Amino acid sequence: MRIRIDRGRCQGAGQCALNAPELFDQSDDDGLVVVLDDRPPPALRHKARLAEQLCPNSVIRVLEAEDDG
């Protein structure tokens, strides 16, 4: 599993940092998303998926292993 982000779309709502703090944070400089772990362990799959679903600007994409390239 791999996390990809499109930071240019981020508006800093903070849904990811709130709901999946193991994987996401916000920069002190601009408030936008920072990925802490772009290859999360399987135990955090549901949190990665939740962050993907809750992001109001479709910034986050969670790719399963076969898409990993």
Partner 1 sequence: MSVASPTPFPAPLPTRRGCPFDPPDGYGELRRDRPISRLAFPDGKIGWLLTRYEDVRAVLEDVRFSSDRRHASSPVRAFPVRDGDPRIPGSLIGMDPPEHTRYRRLVTRWFTVRRMRGLAPRIERIVADHLDAMERTGPPVDLVEAFARPIPSLVICELLGVPYAERADFQRWTATLFRLDEPKESVYAARDALWDYMRSLVTVKRQLPDDALLSQLIHSEDPSAGLTNQELTGLGQLLLIAGHETTANMLALGTFALLCHPEQAHTLRTRPDLVDNAVEELLRYLTIVQFGVVRVAREDIEFAGVRILQGETVVASIAAANRDPERFADPDELDITRSAAHHIAFGHGVHQCLGQQLARMEMRAGYPALFQRFPSLRLAVPADQVPLRDDMFIYGVHRLPVTWQG
Instruction: List residues binding partner 1 (CB under 8 A).
Output: 11-15, 17-19, 21, 25-32, 50, 53-54, 56-58
Minimum CB separation of residue 68 from partner 1 in Å reads: 27
For the chain, the maximum distance between any two Cα atoms, rounded to a whole number of angstroms, is 35
Minimum CB separation of residue 36 from partner 1 in Å reads: 12
C-alpha–C-alpha distance, residues 63 and 3, integer Å: 6
Q: Which is nearer to partner 1, 3 or 24 (CB)?
A: 24
Beta bridge partners of 4: 61
